[in-house]
Every structure is written in structure tokens, then in C-alpha cells.
Structure 1
Amino acid sequence: MFRLLSALTRAQKTYIFLGIDLCLLPLVLLFTFAVQNLATPAGQLFAASLAVLPYVVAFTGVTSLWLGLPHVQLNAYERHAVALTSLVAVISASALGLAMMLFGPALPVGTYVVFALSYFIAMVAVRAILFQVVMSIYRRAQPRCRVLIYGAGATGTQLAQALRSHDWIDPVAFVDDNKSLQGMTLVGLPVYAPARIEELVKTRQIARVLLAMPSQSQPKQAQIIQRLQALKLDVQALPSFAQLVGTEALVEKLTPVAPKNFLGRRAHDVPLAEAAEAYCGKVVLVSGAGGSIGSELCRQVMACRPKKLVLYELSELALYTIHQELCAQAQAEGIELVPVLGSVTDPRQVREVLGCHQIQVVLHAAAYKHVPLVEANPLAGLANNVFGTRTLARAAGDFGVDRFILISSDKAVRPTNVMGASKRMAELVVQDLASRSTSTVFTMVRFGNVLGSSGSVIPLFQEQVARGGPVTVTDPNVRRFFMTIQEAVQLVLTAGADAKGGEVFVLDMGKPVPIIQLARQVIESAGYTVRDADTPEGDIAIEIIGLRPGEKMEEELTITDELMLTRNPKIFCAHEGDLSEIEVASFVRSLRQVVAANDAEAARNLIARWVEGDGLPPENTRATS
């Protein structure tokens, strides 16, 4: 039977509907005569009407086709089609009355009213029965997808009603968090508590869950979807009204709050007017040019109008991105832009680049900076951050570069992790070269966490909020110094221009900010509420995950806490102790040996010997991701 129904064309189905309607007409007429209390028996009246009946049938058929009633599909037979049916019934009764008045026995007007009503009810009833029969045939012939509807509100019930006529989707039940709805039956389907989903999946063979809660906040929807997907269920969310009418595009264009808005203090503006002279008309090399700090260095150096800007970067994609961004500006301003793909740990390439392009200023931002990753890969982090700095700095001295500025970190102060220790070792290397250099000015710029940089806490929090949470904080008492990328780069360029050699420059970064406070600000700035003991119905929870290996509760900016003023009130200078040339050569040689031997434990012991710190975590507790 299913094959027969599937083989029918649209025209054939139209003629079937028309034939059924026309066959009903004489049957309904006979029924009308039978239920009427008339003087003449029903059989005689029906026999008398046979002379006009073919004309009435033909007229009804033409009228029905003209109105389009036979073209209406069973699954689309709704109010408009019912209205057409009533119109056909009225027209057919009117035609019958006119024909009987002219050629047949006279009948009361009430007879034609009963005929119209009966004919209308018969056509509607036959279609309803046909729909159930056809749907039964289709259901038996095709596999059904049994679905659970999450949300028994207006949207969910409307969805359930719409799916009743679907070819292969079979709504089984509702689940809803509203306890007042649980246990009820809505549009023929029971409503259960979400705690029973796993049981329902097994007992009712449910394969998919339809999330009918478009007004629910995105984080809560994301949390529900994650729980359902953990049960190996296919989850689909019903779009909101805004998405259906197209206004959701406006929401998608809204960007997250700028990281600088979470600074907790007024951003410092360090003018580059005088500092720009140190870079104007010079050949400048930026290592790590595709990173967060490196790319901002490139942008601000471009504003100083250098003669040539060399972009030194290990990542092909990052180098391509920053080169494409600056290319048009460089051409417009007559600045030569040179992309160089390579590593600062390659002595041959470093010397070739410095010599070939006659570099005058080096801004060294290339480094591995993510604490957990370097903690999990200590040898790679030490090799890149220490050997890369030494290779580039020594070559800069050999080729008579005017200035070499190292981008350092507050994690280099009494480090408790490998990344911080590697940055401190890099500082010691540069300080050693500064003490012996007569032509190149070697200096360092040290600052805290940069808001909005790759891998920093603000983008991480915003990503976690977008996923529905939770937002993870290592410890409720952790505090950090923060600055914007623009502030950091202005500091680097200004300090680099003022440096005399061997200084460590730091910025007035204000008071350290509690990370948990920052997490709350990110959640609330996205329009959500924090879910905690006081507000259990909030949108996003903050989860305390514990300090990571090597992580401090608070960072420091200097080793000695003795800061000297500079001509800029927001920039300070720290003169810190260093190692002798022999000591630096000794720890570099030892570091090369442990890296060559691939001995991470020996590397940690070496750090503990040469770097002043609060101790590093043992090898067996280091981060693994």
C-alpha cells in the first residue's frame, strides 16, 4: 500500500479527492431525504431527483476544481480548506435546490440546509479519516524518529502539535524544569522532570531531544545541551523568534566588551612624541611579530615612520596575518616591510637577517609565555626563551645594532615556574651583554598580565561564558597586575628610547586585581548573572579549580622593590643584581648540556641553582596540559 501511495502523482491524488467528494453527494442526498420527516418516502424522492442529479454532480465538480479544493493536501487541510469545503457544500445545495425547483418535486428549504450541512460534514470527516489512514501507512512503512521535547511552555506545545503530522518525527513526551507542569498531560503528551530523561531514553527508545526554550538564556541552554549530549543524545534547539525574523543578525554583530574596560583603573597614555625619534627613519626588527605584543609593536612602530620594518616570526599564519594588515599602510607611507619566517634560535638565519638588512633597533618579543604549556614542556621553553634571546642579543652586539629591547614579564621576579625562570635567565643574559657592550644599548622592559593578549584570562573567560560556563578561577585569593596591550607597547617603545643600558623598566600598574572579581565582571558584562550560593538561579557559575603547578597567589614587578623615577611619572627603573660573565657562560653551557640530554629534572635543578626564586614544583607535579 505504501508503494501505491508513493507512486501516485499530484494530479492523480487530485482526481481521487474529487471523485470521493462527488460520490459522497448522492449518498448525502439520500441520507438527507431519509432523516427528513417528509410526506413522500425517501426512496421515491431520491428516484425523482435522479433526473437532475448528474447535472448537480457535474456543476459541483467544476466548482470544486475552480475553487481548488481537491488540490489541498491532507496534511495541509486546515481552516482555509475547511472554508472552501463549506463553500462547495453551500453552492452544491443551491444548485440542487434550483434544479429541483425547475425539474423536480418541490422540497422545503430546510431540506437543502440539511443537505449542505451533511455534505460539509461528510467531506471533512472523510478527509480526517483518510489522513489517519495514510499516516498509519506511512508510519508503518518508514522508520520513525522518537523525540523528547525539552520545554513544555507555549513554544513546546506548539511544536508538539506541529510534529503530529510530520512524516517521520514522533513526539513522545515533554520534560520541563517547572515543577508545576510535571505530571500533567499537555496536547496528549506527559510532562516529566529532567531527572527522568535517562530513564525515558531507555524505556521509550528516544533518539533526539528538541530544545523548545528559545527565551532561556544562552548559558543555560548550553548547560542543558551539554548534559543531554553526555547521554549520547542528538540535541537540536528551536530558534528564537529573533532568529526566525532575521533580527538575530544584529545580536551576532555585537562584540564582547573590550578587555581594557576590565582594567580597574584609568589606562595610562604614554605619548610617543619624543620616543618616536628613536625609531623614525631607522631599520627596526620585531621578533615574534605575529604575537599579541609583537603585532601591536609593529603597529606603533609603523606610526613612528621607520625606514624599514622587519617582521621576524616563527608561525607562518601569524606572519601572514600581520604582514597583510600592515602592507597597505607601508606602501602608502613608503616604509619597506620585510616578512621573515624563521626562529630566533637559528644563529645562521639571525646573523643573515641582521647583516643583510642592517638592523638598527631590535624589539625582542618572541617567547613561549603560557605558563602551563611551558611547565609541561620545560626544555622547549628554556631553549626558545633563553637560547633565542642569547642568539639574537649576541648577534645584535656583533653587528653594532643601536638598541636591543627585551620584552620580559613580572613572572621573572622570584619565579616559581619554568616560564618565569626562563624569562629571568633571558634577563641575566641581556644584563651580562649590557655590562660589556660599548656600542649597543641593551635594556629590558618588564610588565604584568596584558589584557586581551592571546591566551590571557579575559578571552578565556569570555569563551567560557559563550559556552555556558562555568568560568574557572584557580583560587579566590589570586591577584594579578594588568595592563592593556597599548600601554605595554607604549612602555616598551618609550623605555627603549630612553635606555642607557642594563636597566629594567617597569610601569606603574596600579593595585593588583582579584581574578575572581574579574571573572564576575566578565560574566555581568555579557548580560548574565553569577550563579552562587546567594543566587542559585544565576546563569554562569564560577568554579574554583586550584592553583596550577608553579603559579603564585600574587606576582611582583621587581626583585629589590627599589624603584627609580624616570622623566615619565608612570615609568620606573629598577637596577637589580646580575651575574658575572663567567657565571652567565656557566649556566648557559650547563643549560645546553641538559637540553641536549633531554633531562627535564636536571633543567629544574639548574634553575634552582642559578635563579633567585621561591622554588619550582617538582617534575612529577608539573602541568600536563
Structure 2
Amino acid sequence: MKLNKGLVALFLIDILIVWFSIGSSYSFRFYGDFPAEYRLQMIQYAGISTIGFGISFYYFQLYRRAWEHASVEELISILKAVVIGGVLSTAVTLLVLPERVPISIVVRSLETVLLLVGGYRFITRIIGIRTNRNAVDPVLNNVLIVGAGNCGTLIAREIRSSALGMKIVGFIDDDLKKYKMHVLGIPVLGTREHIPSVVKEKDIKEIIIAMPSASRQQISEIVAICKNTGVKLKMMPRLNDLISGKVSLSKVRDISVEDLLGRDPIKTDLDGIMNYVHHKSVLVTGAGGSIGSELCRQISRFEPKELLLLGHGENSIYTIEMELRKTFPDLQLKTIIADIQDKERMNSVFDECRPQVVFHAAAHKHVPLMERNPTEAVKNNVFGTKNVADCADEYGVERFVLISSDKAVNPTSVMGATKRIAEMYIQTLNTSSNTKFVAVRFGNVLGSRGSVIPFFKQQIAEGGPVTVTHPEMVRFFMTIPEAVQLVLQAGSFASGGEIFVLDMGSPVKILNLAEDLIKLSGFEPYEEIDITFTGIREGEKLYEELLTDEENITATQHNRIFIGKPSEMNRSHLELEILRLQRVVADGSTSIKEIIDQIVPMYEVVS
């Protein structure tokens, strides 16, 4: 085995340190003129100590440590190695030497070995840090860390030990006791109120928020201060990463839209209410979509007897299947490639699989696309829903949950109107069925396919402009996991016929969202990244609503879920109108939008 020359040199330096420490200790003990009989003892003690310290240093792995990254742990290992080595050497001398080594020499030699062995290694660390700093690109980005706690100091250490072109200028912390103190030699420059002045004074290029235990509201307040500084923001996301020791620069992420919403994530305790899927056969349509796939993830935690993943796109179904098989290896899964518009295929699926609970998430949801393709919206959102709902009724499904949309309220779009017809149909079906039919209505979800947020980010990455339809456009937002938790919770409240409405929080102005995203990316809106207005697209409206004028809201056991009770509908009349829709789709003799207008009185045909 080839010896590492560096480690051999380090070992020889340690031995020289041991010899020097013993020699200097004898010299101090006798003021430089010690008796001849002690000279032999010194040589013998040095020889024994060479072996004793050598064994102890090796045992405590002093030659297997990267001293350029040394920390308190390495300091403790040096202390243990020196003390044990000294005790071992002294014990041997008591056994083999005729005269006891003076205790003052033992103590002084231990002190000197500890000082020189530790000092030499930490000098190596300091030289390594300075070498890394000098090796960095001469153009350094000044970085400000918000949070001078454990997470902030860990991030600071990693930045300082890595050649990343970053220079930590200071910390920001709301703890007044830390103000003007130094952490790792880095000054705490003030509280959050000082951020704008510090950024300007110190020419900060990037801010890292290292407060993983802070509430969403606290983060939002800090982000609101930082976003007007014109520098790029990043943050350490989770407290779990701090606890598990995973804090590193790779975990630091860009500020997300969730951080801008200013509210803590909705917390729903599903454990006590998910008995309606436990050991049941559960079917999720649209299982490859944003909402459908998250439904599958969360339902899987509650041990359904079998989870049926139904979708039209094979790639998306394959992706969620592979994820679930890896995460839940004992889960009974069945993947079904099928089109909900195919009634015979739906009958076959229900006859073979006999689901007990159905979550119907399959739908066409893109407003402008459906406005240009109304036939497809009707075929999928109306006829497809009717096919699945009729099968649920016929095959004795216990519970049917329709994923609806706030665009079904006073709809101005084909997509919204078709979702409203779907709601109306399952409510009329509920009046004569043993199945509990309910709908859950909510607004936009962050990160879903076709969502405005990824679109804005792409436009910013391309240098702009960012396109907003109208300066007064507002929307409700919720994360996908939050929405699905509330859907599952609402499903537990079902007695049949309800439309559950999710409290989406305060509406967000899309223009403000675009401006914030540009600022958080380190650019100035209208100067470095322009914002242009393209006009409201077909079918869109400025403000979304969650209830129609006829619906009276009723509270539930959950403070974020409400029930809208619509007026009674005539089932035979609705079925007749749907038959008319089917004829129009088949022969195209009449405008589909005109028929929709007759079914949904709130919908207005825009010529």
C-alpha cells in the first residue's frame, strides 16, 4: 500500500512536537541545567511517549481528518488524543522506569503537546480558508444573511469554505441582544428594518433568509421588505433540514410564491376522518394531473384496499404509478388507461373494479383553449362527468366527489359553464341515488399545469416582457397539497348533494404577483424586465367568485370549508337539455354556446 507523504510528514511533525514538549518541560523544570541522571529518564520518557502518543493519535483518527474544515469536533478529538496519550505514556513510565517522572514535567509536556498539535492543525485550517478565498473569482457578490441562529451560521460556514464567488458582509437578526455582535467574525448589522439601508450601504447583491422555523407570515413580512431592495432573494426552506443536519447551500432555494401569500399553510388533521377510504377500493380519474396525482399521494397514506389510477395520458399515469410504487411498496395499485367520454369503457371499468369511492378530477380546465374548442369542453366536462357519475350510481359507489372550480360560479367561459353543468347533474342524480354525490369548488392552485406562476418565471428567465392580461385582474391561490387536503376533508363531511366551497384566503392581484416575482429574481419591474398588458382573454373575468347569488353558505366542522346550498333543479329538464347538447355536438346544427346559455342561466354568450 502506497503511503500518503502528507500524512507521514504530519506524523513526524507530531513526534517532533512530543520530543520538544518533553525536552522543554525538563529544561523549565531545572532552569536549563538539569542533573545528568534525569537526562536518561528524559530520553526514555520521550521514547515511551512516542509510542503512547502515536497510538492515541492514530486511535482518535487525527490522520484521517480534513483539517482545512476543522471544527469543535476536531478540537475535542485533539484534546482526547493528547490526554489519553499522556496518561498512557505516564502509566508505562511508572511501570518500567526506576524513578518517577516529576508531575510538573508530565503536566507541562501535556500542555505543550496540546498547544502545538492543536495550533499546528488550526493554522493549517486558517491557511486553507485564506487560500480558498484567494482562489475565488476576484469579483465577489456581497451576501447578507437574515437570521444569525444555527441555520444562518451553518450556511455562513459553508459559504466561507466554498469557492462560490460569495462574500458574507453581515447578518440581520431581530434579536436586539445580537445587534453589533459578531458571529463567526461576521457582524450583526441590525434588525429587519435595517435591511434596505444595509443593502444600499454594503452593496449587497444577494440576500439569504435562514429562518427555517419562522412562520409563513414572518417570512412574508421579511420578503416584503427585501423585495424592494432590488437584490435576489433565496431562503432555507425547512426546519427538518436543520434538525437532520442537512443544511447546505444545495438546500437554499429561490423565494416562492407561497412565501408572498403571507399566510401559514392550511393544516388539516386527516388521520381521524379518512376511514371512508381506509380498506376501500378508491378510483381517481385524471390521476396523472396536478390535482389527481396529489389526491393519489395523500389517499395512499390511509391504506386503501386498492387504488385505481385512471387517466387518458399514458405518460402521466406511468409517472405517478412509479412514484407511488416506490413510496408505498405495499399499496395495491391498478392503472387504467381510458377516456371518460367512452361510456362503454367506463361501464367495463366499474363492472370489473367495483370502486367504493370515486374522486373525479378528470377535466379540461384551460379557459381560453376551451373557449376556442367548446365541443371538447362539453364532451369531457359534461358528458365525461355524466358517464362516470352514472356508473357510480349504477354500480353502488358509496361516495362520489367531483373536483369543481370557482369558474363555475356565474360563468363567463365555456369551461366554467361546463363545470357548472357537471355540478348540477350530480346534484340532481343525488336525489334518487344511494351514492353520496358532492362537489368541491376552489380557485387556482400554485404549480398546477397551465398556472400563471411557471409562465411568469419562464418569461423572466428569458428576459421579459412579462405579460399580464389586465392591471386589475385578481385570483384566489392555494397550494396543491392544501387544496387536496381540504378536498379529502370535505369528502368526509358528505351527506349528499352539497357543493363544498374552500376558503381560498384573500385574492391576489396578478399584476402585483408579476412585479413581486420580477423583484425577487433580482430585477427592477418596467426597467430591467418590462410588464405588458395583453387584454382579457376570451372567457376570462376580472374577479373570481366562489358562490352564486342563489347559494346560501353554511359552515362545517372545518373553518376553511363551507357548504353552498343551491336552489332545487328539475332533473328531467336538465337531462333533456343534456340530450340536446349531445345532438348539437353530433350534428353541429346549433351553437353549443347557445344551448349552454339555456342550461346555465348565469352564463352569457359573448359574441
TM-score calculated relative to the size of structure 1: 0.56
Structure 2 match to 1:540: 529
Q: 1:576 to 1:414 in 2, by over 3 A?
A: same
| 1:433 maps to 2:411 | no
CA offsets 1:397-453 (integer angstroms, 9 cap, x no match): 10000100000000000100100001001111111111111x210000000111110
Amino acid aligned to 2:510: I
Q: 1:267 to 1:254 in 2, by over 3 A?
A: closer
Mapped to 2, the partners of 1:346 and 1:406 lie a distance apart of 18
Equivalence map 1:372-451=2 (5 Å): 372-437=368-433, 439-451=434-446
Structure 1 match to 2:593: 604
| 1:349 maps to 2:345 | yes
Q: 1:442 to 1:614 in 2, by over 3 A?
A: closer
CA offsets 1:569-625 (integer angstroms, 9 cap, x no match): 1111110124211111111101101110235x611101111103251322xxxxxxx
Q: CA deviation at 1:256?
A: 4.8
Q: CA deviation at 1:550?
A: 1.5
Q: 1:364 to 1:434 in 2, by over 3 A?
A: same
Amino acid aligned to 2:588: N
- 1:418–1:616 Cα contact (<8 Å) kept: no
Mapped to 1, the partners of 2:310 and 2:338 lie a distance apart of 7
Equivalence map 1:125-524=2 (5 Å): 256-331=254-329, 334-437=330-433, 439-524=434-519
3-state SS of 2:523 partner = coil
| 1:583 maps to 2:573 | yes
Amino acid aligned to 2:390: R
Structure 2 match to 1:556: 545
CA offsets 1:546-578 (integer angstroms, 9 cap, x no match): 111121110100013621010111111110124
- 2:284–2:310 Cα contact (<8 Å) kept: yes
Amino acid aligned to 1:319: I
3-state SS of 1:274 partner = coil
3-state SS of 1:557 partner = coil
- 2:469–2:537 Cα contact (<8 Å) kept: yes
- 2:597–2:604 Cα contact (<8 Å) kept: yes
Q: 1:353 to 1:258 in 2, by over 3 A?
A: farther
Structure 2 match to 1:234: none
CA offsets 1:166-202 (integer angstroms, 9 cap, x no match): xxxxxxxxxxxxxxxxxxxxxxxxxxxxxxxxxxxxx
Mapped to 2, the partners of 1:251 and 1:545 lie a distance apart of 39
Amino acid aligned to 1:484: T
Amino acid aligned to 2:290: S
- 2:574–2:599 Cα contact (<8 Å) kept: no
Structure 2: which 5+ residue stretches go unaligned?
1-138, 140-204, 206-247
Structure 2 match to 1:5: none
- 2:417–2:603 Cα contact (<8 Å) kept: no
CA offsets 1:262-300 (integer angstroms, 9 cap, x no match): 434333112212222111111100000000000100000
3-state SS of 2:328 partner = helix
Q: CA deviation at 1:493?
A: 0.6
Q: CA deviation at 1:481?
A: 1.1
Amino acid aligned to 1:302: S
Mapped to 2, the partners of 1:252 and 1:470 lie a distance apart of 30
Amino acid aligned to 1:415: P
Mapped to 2, the partners of 1:262 and 1:598 lie a distance apart of 47
Q: CA deviation at 1:251?
A: 10
3-state SS of 2:530 partner = strand
Q: 1:357 to 1:390 in 2, by over 3 A?
A: same
Structure 1: which 5+ residue stretches go unaligned?
1-154, 156-216, 218-249, 532-537, 619-625
- 2:408–2:420 Cα contact (<8 Å) kept: yes
Mapped to 1, the partners of 2:403 and 2:366 lie a distance apart of 15
Identity of aligned residues (%): 45
Structure 2 match to 1:204: none
Amino acid aligned to 2:449: S
Runs of 4+ in 1 over 4 A off after TM superposition: 250-256
Mapped to 1, the partners of 2:343 and 2:440 lie a distance apart of 24
- 1:263–1:483 Cα contact (<8 Å) kept: no
Amino acid aligned to 1:298: C
Q: CA deviation at 1:526?
A: 1.9
Mapped to 1, the partners of 2:460 and 2:508 lie a distance apart of 20
Mapped to 2, the partners of 1:398 and 1:448 lie a distance apart of 31
Q: CA deviation at 1:527?
A: 2.1
Mapped to 2, the partners of 1:382 and 1:551 lie a distance apart of 18
Q: 1:294 to 1:607 in 2, by over 3 A?
A: same
Q: Which of structures 1 and 2 has the larger relative contact order (alpha carbons within 8 angstroms, sep 6+)?
A: 1
Q: CA deviation at 1:253?
A: 9.2
Moved more, 601-610 or 377-386: 601-610
CA offsets 1:356-395 (integer angstroms, 9 cap, x no match): 1220100000000000110111101111000000000000
- 1:417–1:617 Cα contact (<8 Å) kept: no
Amino acid aligned to 1:401: V
3-state SS of 1:563 partner = strand
Q: How many residues align?
A: 362
Mapped to 2, the partners of 1:425 and 1:264 lie a distance apart of 35
Mapped to 1, the partners of 2:531 and 2:250 lie a distance apart of 25
CA offsets 1:510-548 (integer angstroms, 9 cap, x no match): 2211110111121122222212xxxxxx32111111111
Amino acid aligned to 1:496: G
Amino acid aligned to 2:529: I
Structure 2 match to 1:566: 556
Q: 1:344 to 1:578 in 2, by over 3 A?
A: farther
| 1:530 maps to 2:543 | no
3-state SS of 1:261 partner = helix
Q: 1:399 to 1:614 in 2, by over 3 A?
A: closer
Q: 1:319 to 1:255 in 2, by over 3 A?
A: farther
Q: 1:491 to 1:455 in 2, by over 3 A?
A: same
Q: CA deviation at 1:349?
A: 1.6
- 1:465–1:523 Cα contact (<8 Å) kept: yes
Q: CA deviation at 1:330?
A: 3.1
Moved more, 549-558 or 517-526: 517-526
Amino acid aligned to 2:366: H
